[in-house]
């Protein structure tokens, strides 16, 4: 896509996708992306907003506004990019298709990771073509302090035999593994709580990057 990977890299590229609604982006997303990149020595983490999130209601802010907020939030953070590829596709945003487009771009040897929080992981068996996700990428599950439920039976069946316990074991292959990560700064921040606060005029300071907060307040986004 728009940003080339560093030249002279002889190892296969290492990339992650963190998809979501980003309605709006907050420090839980951004800090997780930075720490994920460090934990797995990734070249880049693509934060990819969904245009039509398949498993939830219509967000109140347009996809273009959510992308703009994401760009503001990322700013000049090394190794993070706001990737608009799902917004250019018609119809629902299936993650398997997004991973297929990343795979096509970066090649069969690329180490491709789909990162998701534990809350999203718990619903994975209900996703579109969940087996195909593992054909395209590794899954990395990020612990969230406010989401600690046990795994449903269908999910246990889906992930059977895939789990490894070290980044090096995951990165030995291009796809197909599962790693659960407790990143150093687990943050109990959710977009739901940010939206609630904005709707009732309460402070969101230090839950979001300042540039995002400023933009939201100036444009009156998420106000009731």
Q: Which residues bind ligand ATP (CB under 6 A)?
A: 18, 20-23, 28-29, 32, 116-117, 119-120, 142, 144, 187, 189-192
Q: Which residue minimizes CB distance to ligand ATP?
A: 117
Nearer to ligand ATP, 81 or 189 (CB): 189
Nearer to ligand ATP, 12 or 34 (CB): 34
Give the burial class of 47: count Cβ atoms within 10 A of its Cβ; 0-12 exposed, 13-18 middle, 19 or more buried. Answer: buried
Give the burial class of 213: count Cβ atoms within 10 A of its Cβ; 0-12 exposed, 13-18 middle, 19 or more buried. Answer: buried
Beta strand pairing call for 111-117 and 14-20? parallel
State the minimum distance, in angstroms, from the CB of residue 125 to ligand ATP.
15
Is the CB of residue 85 less than 8 Å from the CB of residue 100? no
State the minimum distance, in angstroms, from the CB of residue 4 to ligand ATP.
26
- Spatial separation of the C-alpha atoms in residues 178 and 71, rounded to whole Å: 29
Give the burial class of 63: count Cβ atoms within 10 A of its Cβ; 0-12 exposed, 13-18 middle, 19 or more buried. Answer: buried
- Spatial separation of the C-alpha atoms in residues 175 and 41, rounded to whole Å: 16
State the minimum distance, in angstroms, from the CB of residue 29 to ligand ATP.
5
Nearer to ligand ATP, 138 or 144 (CB): 144
State the minimum distance, in angstroms, from the CB of residue 218 to ligand ATP.
22
Nearer to ligand ATP, 12 or 152 (CB): 152
Nearer to ligand ATP, 9 or 185 (CB): 185
Helix, strand, coil share (%) of the chain residues, nearest 5: 35, 15, 45
State the minimum distance, in angstroms, from the CB of residue 150 to ligand ATP.
17
- Spatial separation of the C-alpha atoms in residues 35 and 62, rounded to whole Å: 28
């Amino acid at each position: 896509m728009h940003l080339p990977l560093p030249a002279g890299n002889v190892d296969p590229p290492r990339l992650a996708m963190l998809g979501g609604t980003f309605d709006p982006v907050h420090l839980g997303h951004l800090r997780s992306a930075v720490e994920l990149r460090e934990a797995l020595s990734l070249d880049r983490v693509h934060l990819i907003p969904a245009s039509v999130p398949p498993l939830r209601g219509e967000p109140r802010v347009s996809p273009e506004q959510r992308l703009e907020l994401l760009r503001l939030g990322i700013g000049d953070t090394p190794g993070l990019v706001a990737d608009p590829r799902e917004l250019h596709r018609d119809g629902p945003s299936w993650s398997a298709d997004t991973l297929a487009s990343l795979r096509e771009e970066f090649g069969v040897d690329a180490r491709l990771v789909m990162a998701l929080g534990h809350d999203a992981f718990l619903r994975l068996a209900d996703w579109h073509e969940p087996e195909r996700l593992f054909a395209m990428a590794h899954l990395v599950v990020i612990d969230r302090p406010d989401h600690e439920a046990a795994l449903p039976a269908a999910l246990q069946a889906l992930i059977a035999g895939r789990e490894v316990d070290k980044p090096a074991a995951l990165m030995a292959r291009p796809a197909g593994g599962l790693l659960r990560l407790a990143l150093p700064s687990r943050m109990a921040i959710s977009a739901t709580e940010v939206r609630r606060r904005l709707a009732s005029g309460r402070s969101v300071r230090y839950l979001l990057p300042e540039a995002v907060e400023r933009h939201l307040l100036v444009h009156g986004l998420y106000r009731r």
